[in-house]
Amino acid sequence: MPIACNRLRRRPRNQRGIVMFMALIMLVLMTLGGLSLFSTIDTAIVVSGNIASQRSATRSGDLCAEAAITWLAANSGATLYNNSQANGYIAAGLGGPTAGQTWAQYWALASAAVTPLTLAADAAGNTASCIIERQCNLPGAAYSSGPPSVECVAPPTSSSAGSSMGVGFVQLNRPTAVYYRITTRIAGPRNTLSFIQTIYSM
């Protein structure tokens, strides 16, 4: 008598695609990470460029301030009693910038009075211009009795004739120097404007 054999047949499993789905998720995450990294690098490059541009502008402004100080040292005395149109010098420059006034507006008013001292453009394309303002209320010799009297802003220093220690004698302090304010405008190669102020005592 023949024996019947029952063969068990396995049904093929359905393809669920879990591995493909996970691979797609990982691909999306890697793409987003790459985009984020690219954005970070791009931002870092922009920031580094701005810092380098700022340092270059500051260096150019320092050179202009040094040129202004050199001119002041070479022209001490009666030359500084009045404006010097060609050298950007104002003998009575106590004002500005006032409240609500922008640096650009302040510069426009100051440069209308005198021609700014301007240096040649540097290697980075920065052009620096300076205006020197003596911190006095009027032109003329500093601390002159007038009338009208010329009052200036200066550091207090002791300088008086005699040194009597008798009763009733007082050693008085009077200023012997004057403050000069140097305003520098730096025009950058990317339509940028920077302003720097330097106070110099002489």
Distance (Å, rounded) from C-alpha 24 to C-alpha 154? 74
Domain assignment of residue 61, yes or no: yes
Q: Give exposure, 179-200, as e/b (b: 16+ Cβ within 10 Å).
A: bbbbbbbbbbeeeeebbbebeb
Give the CA count within 13 Å in the CB-facing half-sphere of 80. Answer: 24
Nearest-angstrom CA–CA distance, 174 and 101: 34
Report the number of distinct structural domains present in the chain.
1
Establish if 38 belongs to a structural domain.
no
CA distance 171 to 158: 8
Mean local confidence (pLDDT), 106-135: 92
Instruction: Give me the helices (H) in the chain, please.
Output: 18-74, 103-113
The lowest-confidence range among 11-20, 55-64, 74-83 is 11-20
Answer whether residue 189 is part of any domain.
yes
Report yes or no on 90 lying in a domain.
Answer: yes
Q: Which DSSP symbol is given to 62?
A: H
Among candidates 139, 144, 140, 155, which has minimal Cα distance to 199?
155
Most confident of 23-32, 38-47, 75-84: 75-84
Whether residue 79 lies inside any domain: the answer is: yes
In a domain, 42, yes or no: no
The amino acid present at 158, given as its one-letter code, is S
Query: Cα(38)–Cα(29) distance, rounded to whole angstroms?
Result: 14
Over residues 63-82, the mean pLDDT reads 92
Query: Where residue 67 falls among pLDDT bands split at 50, 70, 90?
Result: very high
Q: Is residue 16 part of a domain?
A: no
Q: Does residue 82 sit within a domain? A: yes
- pLDDT, residue 184, reads 94
Computed on alpha carbons and rounded to an integer, the radius of gyration of the chain in Å comes to 36
Show the domain range for 133. Answer: 52-158+174-201
pTM for the model: 0.68
CA distance 135 to 72: 13
Distance CA 87, CA 130 (A): 9
Q: What is the pLDDT of residues 127-169, one digit of tens each?
A: 999 999 999 999 998 888 777 888 888 776 554 444 555 555 5
